[in-house]
Amino acid sequence: MKRADWILIACVAVVAALFAIPQTHCAEGFNWATAHHPYIMAFFKFAILATLGEMLALRIREGVYNKPGFGVLPRMMVWGFLGMCIAMAMVIFKTGVPAFLGTLGWKSAATVFAAPAFSWGKLGVAFAVSVLMNSIFAPVMMTFHKCTDIHITDNGGTVRGLLRPMKMREIFAHKVNWDMQWNFVIKKTIPLFWFPAHTITFILPANLQVLFAALLGVALGLILAIKK
């Protein structure tokens, strides 16, 4: 292991200790901020954790956490924006899918889903929310994120480069690896990873759902690195 690996492990250990020790009140502050500023918190959760997932993937592939042109800060900005979009989508689908199930005859779907206790009915609604959100929202979000990755790399990994207009037609036509994007990222990770993973997400307490979703981004980064 390299020095950077030990630094990362130490940082993770310190953060975990701060949240585990009651006297630090970190958990209380986290819950308060999540309840009162959910989208700002979603920005920072994804900016930090999902970007860390990409850095870990780079570490696995090339042995380093960062390199010229990788663009850690631009990637954090993109992930933060996507985190806010994901938090918004979770609210929309958590509200809309139970209502949709009600129109299909499951009148108690919203009540079952809102109950704090676990039940098989709640699991069923959570699975339906996950399937519909990942089938409708996720492919668009994933493809947009792939385009931003290419845009960041093409512009040297700088913040100024990120703010330049994206050449979407060129990126779509010539630079996206559609065999990887469609046949693996969309066709395999969505049903095999995201359907069950987000089912678990929607069973968790509301204040932990976006955080868990961001942690899943770390896991997916590792999966993609192994695939490559």
Tokens of 111: 């009540």
pLDDT of residue 228: 60
Does 52 lie in the same domain as 30? no
Does 128 lie in the same domain as 60? yes
Does 25 lie in the same domain as 106? no
Does 57 lie in the same domain as 7? no
Please count the helices (runs of H) and the strands (runs of E) in the chain: 12, 0
Tally the domains of the chain.
2
Q: Are 97 and 132 in contact (CB under 8 A)?
A: yes
Q: Are 94 and 129 in contact (CB under 8 A)?
A: yes
Tokens of 50: 């999902």
- Return all residues near 189 (Cβ < 8 A) that are at least 6 apart: 220, 223
Q: Are 130 and 199 in contact (CB under 8 A)?
A: yes
Does 90 lie in the same domain as 27? no
pLDDT of residue 152: 95
Does 168 lie in the same domain as 74? yes
pTM above the 0.85 mark? yes
Does 100 lie in the same domain as 9? no
Q: In angstroms, rounded to a whole number, what is the distance separating the alpha carbons of residues 122 and 23?
A: 34
Tokens of 46: 């994804």
Does 92 lie in the same domain as 56? yes
pLDDT of residue 22: 75
Does 149 lie in the same domain as 82? yes
Strands (E) located in the chain: none
Q: Is 195 helix (H, G, I), strand (E, B) or coil?
A: helix
pLDDT of residue 208: 87
What is the rounded (10 degree) CA torsion for 54, 60, 66, 68?
-110
Q: In angstroms, rounded to a whole number, what is the distance separating the alpha carbons of residues 178 and 227?
A: 15
DSSP secondary structure, 98-125, as one string: HHHHHHTT-TTHHHHHH-SS--HHHHHH
pLDDT of residue 9: 81
Does 213 lie in the same domain as 133? yes
Q: Which amino acid is at 158?
A: T
Place of tokens 């699991």: 123
Q: Which amino acid is at 223?
A: I
Does 137 lie in the same domain as 168? yes
pLDDT of residue 200: 95
Find, among 118, 116, 110, the residue nearest to 94 by Cα. Answer: 110
Q: In tens digits, what is the pLDDT along the chain, a chain of 228 residues?
A: 788 888 878 887 887 776 777 767 788 888 888 889 999 999 999 999 999 988 988 888 888 999 999 999 999 999 999 999 999 999 999 999 999 999 999 999 999 999 988 999 999 999 999 999 999 999 999 999 999 999 999 999 999 999 999 999 999 999 999 998 999 989 999 999 999 999 999 999 988 898 898 888 788 777 766 666
pLDDT of residue 226: 66
Tokens of 226: 């192994």
Does 90 lie in the same domain as 16? no
Structural domain span for residue 7: 1-36
